[in-house]
Structure 1
Amino acid sequence: MRVSGPILFTERLILRRPVGEDFEAWAAFSADPETMEHLGGAVERSVAWRQMCTTAGAWDVKGFSMFSVIERASGRWVGRLGPWQPEGWPGTEIGWGVAHGFAGKGYAYEGAVAAMDYAVDVLGWDRVIHTIAPGNVRSRRLAQRLGSTNGGPTQLPAPLGAMQVDAWGQSATEWRENRARR
């Protein structure tokens, strides 16, 4: 497997660009109704393929996109998270999604911290948001743990325009202060 672009390492994770070998795990993640409840809903393989290719292609078009998250100890695909700003998005987002079998292990937090650092320190973002459905308690708690606050309702572009989401977020300065307290 050849991976181009940035590779981030945390204590337990590798964050890298998505590659073809990720597809089976990506498709299973995308088909799981519980995992996808707040991520636009479960989708079939053909849609998951297009979503993965969109995520991978955004690296070339925008210079950043979500990373595939790999568990260092096992090499298994954990989920996808990181910088995200497709056309019409309400801001520069660090988003996350972890496969059901990896939920509750702190991987989303660990990866989000690395992605926040990357967005602020490498991409030079002045502000980071997280679009979170009001009922997504786990993501709200994660955003709070990162130091983000709820900025209120925001609008996603089609085809996600009907989803109710709030824009949690913080400035780069706030992130640096929050990071220093860790």
Structure 2
Amino acid sequence: MADPGPRIETERLVLRLPRIEDFERYAELFADAEASRHIGGQLTRGAAWRRFLQMPGAWALQGFAMFSVVEKSSGQWLGQIGPWRPEGWPGNEIGYAFHPAAWGQGYAHESALAAIDWAFDTLEWDEIIHCISPANLASKKVAQRLGSRLLRQGCLLPPPVDGVEVELWGQSRQQWRRNRGGRA
């Protein structure tokens, strides 16, 4: 890609478009049974490659998708986070998935603050959701820490993940603005 797209920096992280060098850690994430359990399950390397290509494709066609989250100090890919809205999705999502080596260090919260600010400011969304597996307690804690609340239970996702039941968590731009002390 000639245009590297948006780049956001936080204290410890860089959020940028996915790059080919991100794939190894991405494939590790989806090869790990525990790490992938709430985001569609384990994938073979080939299937992970095809899923990996969704984000650059969405960036190219929609002008937004999840960012790769990279640690500034090491340059290591930690996960992905950001705006996501495939056809038939239940709303404007800020989704996230992190490599297990990045868990428990506050990276999801830190990067989500920047990604949500970006979505409200750049995409001018009025509200955001997070589609969370009912059993994913860690993801619910991230959503709560961001100020999101449970909006609906028993939401079924559209194909190709049809039949997957999630809870919808989320908040409006106005709620986000209040939570962020006037920002967004």
Which category of TM-score, normalised to the shorter sequence, fits these structures?
A: over 0.9
Match runs of 1:159-178 below 5 Å: 159-178=160-179
Instruction: Quote the residue 2:33 is aligned against.
Output: 33
1:149-168 aligned at under 5 Å gives the runs 149-153=149-153, 154-168=155-169
Q: Does 1:62 align with 2:65?
A: no
> CA shift at 1:181, angstroms?
7.7
C-alpha distance in 2 between matches for 1:2 and 1:97 = 27
Matched residue SS, 1:87: coil
Alignment RMSD: 1.5
- Structure 2 gaps, min length 5: none
Q: Tell me, what secondary structure is at the counterpart of 2:125?
A: coil
Structure 2 distance, partners of 1:41, 1:180, is 37
TM-score by length of 2: 0.95
Residues 1:160 and 1:30: Cα distance change in structure 2 (over 3 Å): same
Structure 1: distance between partners of 2:100 and 2:63? 29
1:116 matched to 2:122? no
Would you say the 8 A contact 1:64–1:83 is kept in 2?
A: yes
Q: CA–CA distance in 2 between the matches of 1:30 and 1:58?
A: 20
Identity of aligned residues (%): 49
The within-5 A match list for 1:39-58 is 39-58=39-58
Q: Name the aligned partner's letter for residue 60 of structure 2.
A: D
Deviation, structure 1 residue 155: 2.0
Cα offset, 1:161, TM superposition: 1.7
**Shift >2 Å, 4+ stretches:** none
Q: SS at the partner of 2:180?
A: helix
| CA–CA distance in structure 2, aligned partners of residues 2 and 28 of structure 1 | 28
Encode CA deviations 1:124-177: one digit per residue, 9 max, x unaligned. Answer: 000000000111101111111111110112221112122220110000010011
| Structure 1 residue matching 2:46: 3-state secondary structure | helix
Residue 15 of structure 2 is matched in structure 1 by 15
Instruction: Give the TM-score normalised by the residue count of structure 1.
Output: 0.96
Structure 1, unmatched stretches of 5+, are: none
Give the letter aligned to residue 165 of structure 1.
Answer: V
In structure 2, the partner of 1:144 is 144
- Counting matched residue pairs gives 182
Question: Hey, what's the Cα distance between the residues in 2 that align with 1:34 and 1:181?
Answer: 37
Distance 2:133 2:3 in 1: 33
- Asked whether the 8 Å contact 1:3–1:16 carries over to 2, the reply is no
SS at match of 1:34: helix
